[in-house]
Amino acid sequence: MTPVELAAENGEIVSENLDGAPLALRGVTVSYGADPVVFSVDMTIAAGSMTAIIGPNGAGKSTLLKAALGIVSPLAGRVTCWGKPLESQRKRIAYVPQRASIDWDFPTQVRDVVMMGLHHELGLLSRIHGHHHAKVTECLTRVGMQDFADRQIGQLSGGQQQRVFLARALAQGADLYLLDEPFAGVDAATEAAIISVLKELRDAGKTVVAVHHDLSTVEEYFDRVFLINRRRMGEGPVAEAFTQDALHATYGGRLGDGLVARAG
C-alpha cells in the first residue's frame, strides 16, 4: 500500500503529494445556491480499488461525483487524476450517469449508444470500421445485452438501460470508472450482472467508484467506502471505515440504527 493510502486510512487528511491516485479531491466545496451542498471534501481513491460513496439522500453524493468529473464547477477546491489536472486525463475516465438523467425517448439504438463510448477514438469524422462494431458487440456481450443491439433504447427495461450505459463505459476502455447510482431501480439479475462486470474491472487493475445507497450490500460488493453527508464523514477499507459509529455520524442518530443493524 502506498503511503498516501495508509495515511488516508488512518483518517488523516492527506497532504499535497497525491502520488498519482486515480482520483483525488482537495477541499472541494460545491453550492447551487445559498449554502454548500458539499463542503470542503477531501477524497483519495486508491488505484485498483472498488469504492462505494455512501450517505443519506441529499448528502451530496452525486454532486461530489459531478464535481470530480468537472460537470459542475466547485466553489473552491481542486481535482486531480493520477496527480495531473482532470482535463488532461479525460480519456482514461468513464462515467455512467444516473439513468433518470436522460430522455430515453431519444431516437437512437442500443448499438449507437455504446458507440458513443468510442467518441475519443472516433473523433468528428473518422469512419466506423468493423473493429469498432466488434468492440461494441463485445461490450454488449459482457453485460449480456448482445441480443438487443438494434433495439430502440426507449423499449428497454430500467435494468437493461443501465446495462447499456455500463457497456458504453466499457467501450471507453478507461482506467477509472465513475458510476452514479448504478443499482437504482434495476432488477436483481441486472444488479448481479453489473457487480460481476465491475469486479472483473477491479481484478484487471481498474479503479471503480460508485454512488451507492443500499447499505446492506456494501460489504459484499465493495472493498472501500467513502462516507459523505455534506462533509467527508469517513473513508477507508470497508472493514475499518464502514462501522456503526461512522454510519451513526453520517446518517444521524436514530435514522442510522436500522441501517446499521442491516449492515451488521
Which positions lie near other proteins, rule CB under 8 A? 13, 15-16, 26-27, 29, 31, 33-36, 39-40, 66, 69-71, 75-78, 87, 90, 93-95, 97, 101-103, 105-109, 113, 116, 119-120, 122-125, 152, 154, 168, 178, 229-231, 233, 245, 248-250, 252-255
In the bound state with other proteins, the residue whose beta carbon lies nearer, of 74 and 159, is 74
Nearest approach, Cβ of 256 to other proteins (angstroms)? 8
Output 40 or 217, the one with its CB closest to other proteins: 40
- Among residues 196, 62, 173, 63, the alpha carbon closest in space to that of 114 is found at 173
Give the dihedral of Cα atoms 203, 21, 70, 177; nearest 10 deg.
0
List the beta bridge partners of residue 264: none
Cβ atoms of 45 and 209 within 8 Å: the answer is yes
Closer residue to other proteins, CB minimum distance, 17 or 196: 17
Strand order in the sheet with 23-31: 36-45, 23-31, 76-81, 84-85
User: Among residues 107 and 220, whose Cβ is nearest to other proteins?
Assistant: 107
- Write 252-259 long-range contacts (CB < 8 A, 24+): 252/56, 255/56, 259/215
CB of 105 to other proteins, least distance (A): 5
At closest approach, how far in Å is the CB of 262 from other proteins?
18
Judged by DSSP in three states, 86 sits in helix
In single-letter form, the type of residue at position 136 comes to V
| 244-251 and 253-263 helices, crossing angle to 10° | 140
Q: 101 or 264: whose CB is closer to other proteins?
A: 101
Residue 173 or 223: the one with the smaller Cβ distance to other proteins is 173
Q: CB of residue 75 vs other proteins: minimum separation in angstroms?
A: 5
* Distance separating alpha carbons of residues 194 and 114, to the nearest angstrom: 16
Closest CB to other proteins among residues 90, 213? 90
Q: What are 188's three cell numbers?
A: 436483481
Q: Is the dihedral of CA 47, 48, 54, 60 positive or negative?
A: positive
Question: Strand pairing of 93-96 and 176-180?
Answer: parallel
Residue 220 CB, nearest approach to other proteins (Å)? 26
| Shortest CB 149 distance to other proteins, Å | 13
CB of 179 to other proteins, least distance (A): 11
